[in-house]
Amino acid sequence: MNTLQDAMAVIRKYAPDFNAKVGIILGSGLGSVAEQLTHAIAIPYQAIPGLHSGDVHGHASLLVMGYLNDIPVVCLKGRLHLYEGVSYEAIRNLIRIVKQLGAHTLMVTAAVGSLHEETPPGEVVMINDHISIQPGNPLVGPNDESIGPRFVSLEDAYDPALREMLAKIAERLNIHLTEGVYLSVLGPSFETPAEIRAYKKWGADLVGMSVVSEVIVARHCGLRVAGLAAVTNLAVGLSLEKITHEVTLANAEMGARKLIKIIPEFVKAVASESF
């Protein structure tokens, strides 16, 4: 049984002729971006073989196909997290569905903690690299050469040309956009002050509980990747504010207002390129 083929068979019943150009993953509290899509078709994850709904507040667990600036996009409204007990297989299937639907580019978004006081809640940071301390790797196991090579380079995991494009878009929109390294932890517990001090010494600028596995799978199957992170809090030890998921969701709205402006312009610019 091929779970990916089974998943696509179900999706094609809802949207037989839909072919995306760009995929978008929406992190905690950032689902409002999907509300911009026109002619949208939404499928719950649990209706798709190999997937299931997440149980994290702020993640709707919907695959949404529609149009943004008249460009066909597939939007993952809510992601799957390893800390929920989700398997790497489910994460692989979710990203490979984006590829199977025709997308050549993946925009990853996430709500993050900032390791720098000068990058406070409400700021948006472009991810330029990552560090992972999550257990394992989503590509462990037999490799399917029809999807991607056994060994994948992550030297330019976050595409330099796409980063340059994002920088120009943000400048044009008068949105302050810095770059930073994303460090991925397993969660669901937040980090300790000692861990944050260590991560800063490693060169991390942002910390979160996702992104990396998705990016590895995306690069393996040939998707170009860009990443935007909405800062929802200063990491523990850098602020007197107690870190909670409720604070994360509330502050994510500030970043979402900027993403709602950046992402449609990014989609339009990427769609105009030749691949």
pLDDT tens-digit map of 198-221:
999 999 999 999 999 999 999 999
Query: Is 32 a residue of the active site?
Result: no
**Element of type H or E holding 224:** strand 224-234
Q: Which residues contact 173 (CB under 8 A, 6 or more apart)?
A: 261, 262, 265
Q: Are strands 206-208 and 38-44 parallel, antiparallel or unpaired?
A: unpaired
- Yes or no: say if 195 and 202 are a contact pair by the CB < 8 Å rule: no
Per-residue model confidence as pLDDT tens digits over 8-23:
999 999 999 999 999 9
Taking the alpha carbons at both ends of the chain, their separation in whole angstroms is 32
At which residue do the structure tokens 């060169």 appear?
203
The pairing of beta strand 105-114 with beta strand 71-77? unpaired
Catalytic residue at 123? Answer: no
Domain residues of the chain, as ranges? 3-271
Residue pair 77/26 in contact (Cβ under 8 Å)? The answer is yes
Question: Which residue in 110, 111, 170, 204 is the catalytic one?
Answer: 111
Write down the pLDDT at residue 58. 47
User: Catalytic: which of 8, 20, 28, 158?
Assistant: 28
Residue 171 is encoded by which pair of tokens?
């400048």
**What Cα–Cα distance (Å) separates residue 210 from each residue in 7, 87, 108, 131, 275?**
23, 13, 10, 11, 28
Please report which confidence band the pLDDT of residue 128 belongs to, taking 50, 70 and 90 as the band edges.
very high
Measure the CA–CA gap between 130 and 203, rounded to whole angstroms.
Answer: 10
The per-residue pLDDT for 246 is 74
The catalytic position among 103, 126, 209, 252 is 209
Of the listed ranges 57-66, 79-88, 144-153, 160-169, the least confidently predicted one is 57-66
Beta bridge partners of residue 178, listed in sequence order: 125
d(CA 253, CA 32): 9
- CA pair distance 247, 48, nearest whole angstrom: 31
The answer to whether 28 is a known catalytic residue is yes
Is the distance from CB of 28 to CB of 78 less than 8 angstroms?
no
In this structure, whether the domain defined by 3-271 belongs to CATH 1.10.150.300 is answered with: no
Q: What is the pTM of this model?
A: 0.93
Q: Residue 146 CA to chain centroid, in angstroms?
A: 24
Known active-site residue 210: yes
Q: Which of 59, 116, 130, 220 is catalytic?
A: 59
Q: Which of 26-30, 189-193, 236-240, 254-258 has the highest average model confidence (pLDDT)? A: 189-193
Active site residue 81: yes
Q: Is 233 an annotated catalytic residue? A: yes
Instruction: Give percent of the chain with pLDDT exceeding 70.
Output: 93
The alpha carbons of the chain give a radius of gyration, in whole angstroms, of: 17
Phi-psi sector, 210: left (phi>0), alpha (psi -120 to 50), beta: beta
Q: Is 209 tagged catalytic? A: yes
